[in-house]
A and B are shown apart, each in its own frame.
Chain A
Amino acid sequence: EAGVVQSPRYKIIEKKQPVAFWCNPISGHNTLYWYRQNLGQGPELLIRYENEEAVDDSQLPKDRFSAERLKGVDSTLKIQPAELGDSAVYLCASSQSRTGFGETQYFGPGTRLLVL
């Protein structure tokens, strides 16, 4: 079974430029998460989707970040314009559903973003 797929793996851009990350979750997983991991820290949730619906975007900086999950499968996370402080690893994760106790999340390899 294929895992969570993310692209690109690496991205270098200049500040004020736009950037987009793509994620394809594990087949059959209805819940999708975007996390940001800063150097030396654990991942922090940006947004969570249940199918097409964003059910928790409280940590998403909405002035410059946007996300979508059309058709409830693939998702795209966008930053426009990027700032130096956005340099981080952006991780996508998926789980089967939010129902039940202790749903395990499975992570993709991440996109490492460097803003110059």
Chain B
Amino acid sequence: DQQVKQNSPSLSVQEGRISILNCDYTNSMFDYFLWYKKYPAEGPTFLISISSIKDKNEDGRFTVFLNKSAKHLSLHIVPSQPGDSAVYFCAASAAGGTSYGKLTFGQGTILTVHP
């Protein structure tokens, strides 16, 4: 049972344009969401997060939007740069119970930004 899904395996964008990466989840207990970026042969690097009490969080070129009713979040990168080319993972966690602190990851989306 895939509780966090990234349905687009890959995305190709021109430099300077907007990149939009999408993520859907099924577990209504999830209340904290993170995006990680991963380069080849490296571990995932934390990018940005959002809690369920917000619907938007912005950090420089990166903005994450959360739609709780649709159980959907998205990551916007504006403007996209060639250095943003990487695999992006969406992850979610729940605040309570024995699963606290456990991150459930999506399958990842490969972003390629062309010069």
Contact = CB atoms under 8 A, between A and B. Distances in A.
Interface stretch (B14-22, B41-49, B77-85): B41-49
Interface in B70-115: 89, 91, 93, 95, 98-103, 105-108
Interface stretch (A14-22, A35-43, A66-74, A78-86): A35-43
B32 interface: yes
A24 interface: no
Residue among A42, A48, A91 with most chain B CB within 10 A: A42
Contacts of A101: 32, 51, 95
A90 B90 CA distance: 18
Nearest to B34: A104
A58 B99 CA distance: 10
Interface in B3-53: 4, 32, 34, 36, 41-46, 49, 51
A110 B32 contact: no
Contact of B44 (A95, A102, A107): A107
Interface residues of B, number: 26
B99 A104 contact: no
A102 B43 contact: no
Contacts of B108: 40-42
B75 to A, nearest CB: 15
Given A101-B51, A103-B101, A110 B93 contact: no
B105 A43 contact: yes
The 8 closest A-B pairs by CB, nearest first: A42-B105, A107-B43, A102-B32, A107-B44, A98-B101, A109-B43, A108-B43, A110-B43
Interface of B: 4, 32, 34, 36, 41-46, 49, 51, 89, 91, 93, 95, 98-103, 105-108
Given A91-B43, A103-B101, 16 more contacts: A6-B43, A33-B101, A42-B107, A43-B44, A56-B98, A56-B102, A95-B101, A101-B95, A102-B93, A104-B49, A105-B103, A106-B46, A107-B45, A109-B41, A109-B42, A110-B43
12 contacts: A31-B101, A33-B103, A42-B89, A45-B103, A58-B98, A91-B43, A93-B43, A101-B95, A102-B95, A104-B46, A108-B43, A109-B43
